[in-house]
Chains A and B, each alone.
Chain A
Amino acid sequence: MNGITSGYGAWNPIAWTLLFLGVLAVGFLVRASGRKGCKRGTGQTKVFLSGNEEPEEAGSLHVRGGHLYWGMVEGLSGYFRRVCAAHTGVLSDYAAWFVGVLGLVFVILVLGG
């Protein structure tokens, strides 16, 4: 009914949503036909920390935002080092980028027709 087509594919979000809900329903059915007997508040629902005790101040367990994706940033550290160094924070450098790109655009446009 409604949906968009690009020249080579089609996307119908209503159909997708119905499919998604259907898969969710199947998942719930599978879960419902499992073992009952989960007792809340007992050891069954306590957080498992590889056998360690849960610390009193649970806030210290929260991985703060700055530490996420450390591995990816380390892996791309060459790229990040150069690109972050380019973001100096000095206004004159920003204006230099502007004038530089302006010159480049002149060259490209005038030479390219």
Chain B
Amino acid sequence: MTALMTQHAPVLLIAIPLLGAFAVPILGKLGRGARDAFSGLIALLTAALAGVLAANVFGQTGAASLYVLGGQGFQLPLPSGMSVPVRIVLQPDGMSAFMTLITALILLAAVLFSFSYWRDRSGGTLYYSLLFLLVAGVFGMELTGDLFNFFVFLEVTSIAACGLIGFRVWRKTSQEAGFKVMALYTLSGLFVLLAIGLLYGQYGGLNVAYVANALSGGTLDLIALGLLLAGLALKAGAVPLHMWAPDAYGEAPAPVSAVLVANSQASLYGLFRVLFTLYGPAIRTETAGWLLITLALLTIFVGVTMALIQKDIKRLIAYGAVSQIGYMLLGVGVGLAVSVAKPDYGFVAMQGGIFHMLNDAACIGLLFLCSGAVIRAAGTSDLDRMGGLAHSMKWTGALFLIGSFALAGVPPFNGFASKFLIYEASFRLSPFLAVVAILSSILLLAVFVKAFQAAFLGAKPSVPVRRTSAGMMIPMVALALVVVVFGLFPGFFLDRIVTPAVNALWYGRDAYIGLVLGGG
């Protein structure tokens, strides 16, 4: 059984949430308990599979492995002697396994939180269905080695995400947010499809390794790169394409906002896969790298300054999330800009950027879950109307503080570990980058101090406050434990998890291509 799971882990990671998505409505007919138990089982199974995949991939120090869907051989020998890869392959390498770990962690936290979040509301069955569909799409985006398959899963996540954003149909702002986000996601997805079509028309293949091998870097390829970059950057939330993000994260139910962050990070992963593995040395990586760095600086600064003036707690955290995407773009952009000469600080920058993906997912997940508890307690999400929650919700306040400090990069939490690497490495490329990054981290601390003061400090409110239930507290404490443990032992996790992922992007292009084309 375990051998089966190990061998088929990549496809099971997509299939089991998909099964969950379609089976939950049936089990929902049997009652809430059956539905909750089934959802928990699916989430646990998915997390176990992600762990198995990670153990496999990281055990081989980040070497890619190949999983062919639907058959053993994926090479079609032509009469001329050449062979063409014809099947859809899943190619989990170090970076993919890293992303699946992040997604599995956020899924577990969100599903655990959802048990108590939906206890006294109706409609939970369809919510779980959409949530599992979203996660299946995210896993698909992270594991696939085929360009069109990536597009299909991209659209699956778009539809599921917008269904969840507009879930509460009685709120007019939810519908507005759902429509805006869906229109932008669809438009960007169509441009991604256009780019894939251009690449297919030129090279006759859809497999990432095949196209990467054949890529020549002409004008049409650069146009395809531009389309892919803009489309995936919109879904990731880079400024100035970020304007859907506060609407989306603000209107979705609290546990969904955490999973939407994982969704954005999966698009960011797609962007990195395109830039490093698909194009790689075929383009002038300096140009692309500095483009990423410019987007990153804009994102960091505009994200955090817009967060300063927000009056809604979830929109505030959403702008914080947008700002942190900028840090990931900065780290990897510095790495991309110097990826020809490959100096040491390029590797360190990529380590920082990619480690920050995990740290940011954990911290923002924690903050969104805390905000869900706060909105429940205060009855409103307006910062001008809440206050004094720390009298009755001490633990939630402490966890909110841990999440804020970690995200702002205060030692000894995990945010500092990744931001330290980003600061040091980007300083080596240009001191201005590190200055903007550090100042924006300080501003982010100010932003969360504002949120904490507004929500938790102050006199006791006159109406009694609904305290956070134990079911909501457990996933929050789990995420806070992740934050603290990753902060106290960053070296361990950096060596085991992050460095193989960086190796897969930084050095692993030839191995990635060779696995599909060289072998058989």
Interface presence of B461 (CB below 8 A): yes
Which B residues between 45 and 70 are near A, CB-CB below 8 angstroms?
none
Q: How far is the CB of A94 from chain B (nearest CB, A)?
A: 5
A58-B457 Cα distance, complex, nearest whole Å: 12
Q: Besides the contacts A65-B453, A105-B226, what 6 more A-B pairs have beta carbons closer than 8 Å?
A: A14-B489, A58-B459, A62-B459, A65-B311, A95-B183, A106-B223
Given A17-B412, A91-B179, A109-B226, decide whether A65 and B454 contact each other with a Cβ distance below 8 A: yes
Q: Of A3, A7, A11, A61, which is within 8 A of B345 by CB?
A: A7
Interface presence of B281 (CB below 8 A): no
Q: Of B348, B450, B492, which is within 8 A of A7 by CB?
A: B348
A112 and B287 within 8 A (CB): yes
Closest A residue to B343 by CB, please name it.
Answer: A7
A105-B411 Cα distance, complex, nearest whole Å: 37
Q: Which of B36-44, B80-88, B418-426 lines the interface with chain A? A: B418-426
Interface presence of A52 (CB below 8 A): no
Q: Of B243, B385, B487, B494, which is within 8 A of A97 by CB?
A: B243
Q: Chain B residues near A58: list those with CB within 8 A.
A: 459
Closest A residue to B413 by CB, please name it.
Answer: A13
User: 5 shortest A-B CB distances, which residue pairs?
Assistant: A65-B454, A65-B383, A62-B458, A112-B287, A58-B459
B425 and A6 within 8 A (CB): yes
Can you list 8 contacts pairing A with B, beta carbon distance less than 8 Å?
A2-B489, A4-B491, A8-B424, A8-B428, A59-B459, A87-B306, A101-B240, A112-B284
Closest A residue to B385 by CB, please name it.
Answer: A64
Given A8-B428, A16-B412, A98-B188, decide whether A91 and B226 contact each other with a Cβ distance below 8 A: no
Given A94-B244, A95-B184, A108-B287, decide whether A62 and B388 contact each other with a Cβ distance below 8 A: yes
Interface presence of A38 (CB below 8 A): no
How would you classify the secondary structure of chain B's contact residues: helix, strand, loop or mixed? helix
Which B residues between 297 and 341 are near A, CB-CB below 8 angstroms?
302, 305-306, 308-309, 311, 313
Q: Of A65, A76, A98, A110, which is within 8 A of B450 by CB?
A: A65
Query: Could you tell me which B residues sit within 8 Å of A by CB distance?
Result: 179-180, 183-184, 187-188, 191, 219, 222-223, 225-227, 229-230, 233-234, 240-241, 243-244, 283-284, 286-288, 291, 302, 305-306, 308-309, 311, 313, 344-345, 348, 352, 383-388, 411-412, 416-417, 420-421, 424-425, 428, 446, 450-451, 453-455, 457-459, 461-462, 487-492, 494
B489 and A109 within 8 A (CB): no
A59 and B491 within 8 A (CB): no
Which A residues between 31 and 72 are near B, CB-CB below 8 angstroms?
58-59, 61-66, 68-69, 72
Closest B residue to A1 by CB, please name it.
Answer: B491
A76-B232 Cα distance, complex, nearest whole Å: 31
B308 and A72 within 8 A (CB): yes
A4 and B191 within 8 A (CB): no
B225 and A13 within 8 A (CB): no
A106-B231 Cα distance, complex, nearest whole Å: 12
Interface presence of A78 (CB below 8 A): no
Interface presence of A83 (CB below 8 A): yes
Q: Chain A residues near B309: list those with CB within 8 A.
A: 73, 80, 84
A4-B423 Cα distance, complex, nearest whole Å: 14
Q: Chain A residues near B244: list those with CB within 8 A.
A: 94
B387 and A110 within 8 A (CB): no
B416 and A66 within 8 A (CB): no
Interface centre among A80, A83, A98, A110, by most chain B C-beta atoms within 10 angstroms, is A98
Q: Chain B residues near A27: list those with CB within 8 A.
A: none
Closest A residue to B447 by CB, please name it.
Answer: A69
Q: Chain A residues near B446: list those with CB within 8 A.
A: 69, 72
Closest B residue to A105 by CB, please name it.
Answer: B226
A13-B226 Cα distance, complex, nearest whole Å: 41
Given A68-B450, A84-B309, decide whether A6 and B424 contact each other with a Cβ distance below 8 A: yes
Q: How far is the CB of B384 from chain A (nearest CB, A)?
A: 4
Q: How far is the CB of B413 from chain A (nearest CB, A)?
A: 9
Q: How far is the CB of A1 from chain B (nearest CB, A)?
A: 8
Interface centre among A4, A91, A95, A98, by most chain B C-beta atoms within 10 angstroms, is A4
B225 and A109 within 8 A (CB): yes
A66 and B241 within 8 A (CB): no
Q: Chain A residues near B283: list those with CB within 8 A.
A: 109, 113
Q: How far is the CB of B86 from chain A (nearest CB, A)?
A: 31
Q: How far is the CB of A113 from chain B (nearest CB, A)?
A: 4
A80-B383 Cα distance, complex, nearest whole Å: 20
A2-B234 Cα distance, complex, nearest whole Å: 38
Q: Of B288, B384, B425, which is within 8 A of A66 by CB?
A: B384
B240 and A62 within 8 A (CB): no
Q: How far is the CB of A96 from chain B (nearest CB, A)?
A: 10
Given A7-B345, A7-B428, A80-B309, decide whether A95 and B187 contact each other with a Cβ distance below 8 A: yes
A65 and B492 within 8 A (CB): no
Closest B residue to A97 by CB, please name it.
Answer: B240
Q: How far is the CB of A112 from chain B (nearest CB, A)?
A: 3
Q: Of A73, A79, A84, A94, which is within 8 A of B180 by CB?
A: A94
A94 and B184 within 8 A (CB): yes
Given A64-B385, A94-B184, decide whether A105 and B240 contact each other with a Cβ distance below 8 A: no
A6-B350 Cα distance, complex, nearest whole Å: 11
Closest A residue to B421 by CB, please name it.
Answer: A6
A6 and B308 within 8 A (CB): no
A65 and B384 within 8 A (CB): yes
Interface presence of A25 (CB below 8 A): no
Closest B residue to A3 by CB, please name it.
Answer: B491
Interface centre among B284, B412, B462, by most chain A C-beta atoms within 10 angstroms, is B412
A17-B487 Cα distance, complex, nearest whole Å: 10
Q: Chain B residues near A9: list those with CB within 8 A.
A: 420, 424
Q: Of B226, B348, B385, B491, which is within 8 A of A102 by CB?
A: B226
Q: Chain A residues near B308: list those with CB within 8 A.
A: 69, 72-73
